Amino acid sequence: MRIKILHIQVLPKLSGVQKVSLEIFKNLNDEMYDKYILFSDSLDCGDRTECIKEFEEAGAKVLFSKHLKREIGISDFPALIELYKLCKREKFDIVHTNSTKPGIIGRIAAFVARVPLVVHTIHGLSFHKFVKFPIWQFYWACEMIASCFCHKIIIVNKYYLRYFKWFKNKTCTIYNGVDYSKFPTSNINGIREKHGKVNVLFVGRLDKPKNPLLLLEAARRLRITHPNIHFCLVGDGEYMERCRRFISDNKLHDYVSLEGWRTNVYNYYQQSDIFAVPSIYEAFGIMFLEAGYYKLPVCSTTTEGIPEVVINNLTGVLCEPNDVETFTKNLTLLIDNAELRKQMGENGHTRVTECFNSSIMVSEYLKIYKSGIRK
């Protein structure tokens, strides 16, 4: 019997969440599974063409929703109806939703349409300490209600388990993983301190969660004491213009480069010395695995799931989110100590390759798929 599976995402781009779905699809037997992936039809930063190509090469049929949006709005109601009709028409055996918006609308639509197995992976939560309580309460209520409309809830860290005690019978943790065999290895040890500079790399969306403006503030402070430092920010998003303005206002053009969205980021890892992302909330962060593979020490924060991936004082240095003083101090420690960078980089490489491999992740998801269909 062939199994018909649909993954629901929002953005048609190859960022962290989409890479997880892609990795799962690559490992689903084409003779057993009919694979579908649904994205929002709205335009966003990133390479949509490359994303479609990758999923099609993995044997998936790519669909687009006219009404599914990233932001909460009136379009959510027609999106719910659209997804319900899709599930009824296609008769999927498994619907697997990812992230907050598709996780709410998609779960309800699939469950009401009587899909045999509805799975949701929580790659991040909208209720956290940096939102006001009424908004926190609203997002929390939405998540709790949607959690009633699925059979299995996968969480990418253990930190979030505290919020799902009511659903502990259907909840488990599966850490994200990466297929490192696909990574270029021509220069795994990187080009360290090229031309006497220490290169600091940021990879991710330029948005509130990743907090790139704090990184730029650290750059502003460090340019005085460490003129040999250079910051490279790879990614785009709603904070792009604010970042450009900050760089211009503080005359940081010689110290900071904004690279925009890049599908292939491996080059940047190999040419860097430190990986720095001052997130204010972060469920996991696949970019930490990529940095670890290329032996980069990490400078980040203790928020949410990061300490489960980056071990403080072993594979990187962490501080409380929004603490620009300590973050800058931690960056200074790494900049000034090449031997510490090397040791942490080696530790990080060992940790990510042993603990966060795609084969481990995929095998856990396949167990859930198989057990759910048998029931």
pLDDT on residue 70:
74
Q: What is the pLDDT of residues 265-278, one digit of tens each?
A: 999 999 999 999 99
Dihedral sign for Cα 220, 223, 240, 321, please: negative
pLDDT, averaged across the chain: 92
Confidence of residue 229 (pLDDT cuts 50, 70, 90): very high
Does residue 354 have a pLDDT over 90?
yes
Structure tokens that stand for 195 in this block:
């031309």
The span from the CA of 106 to the CA of 147, in Å, is 11
Does residue 113 have a pLDDT over 80?
yes
Confidence of residue 196 (pLDDT cuts 50, 70, 90): confident
Q: Specify the amino acid at residue 361.
A: M
Mean pLDDT over 79-96 rounds to 96
Mean pLDDT over 189-206 rounds to 77
Q: What is the pLDDT of residues 10-61, one digit of tens each?
A: 888 887 889 999 999 999 999 999 999 999 987 655 578 889 999 999 999 9
pLDDT on residue 195:
57
User: Across 150-294, where does the E strand assignment appear?
Assistant: 152-155, 171-173, 198-203, 229-234, 256-260, 274-276
What percent of the chain is modeled with pLDDT above 90?
Answer: 78
pLDDT on residue 187:
60
Please report, in angstroms and rounded to a whole number, the separation of the first and last CA atoms in the chain. 15
Structure tokens that stand for 317 in this block:
């240095």
Confidence of residue 131 (pLDDT cuts 50, 70, 90): confident
This model's pTM is above 0.75: yes
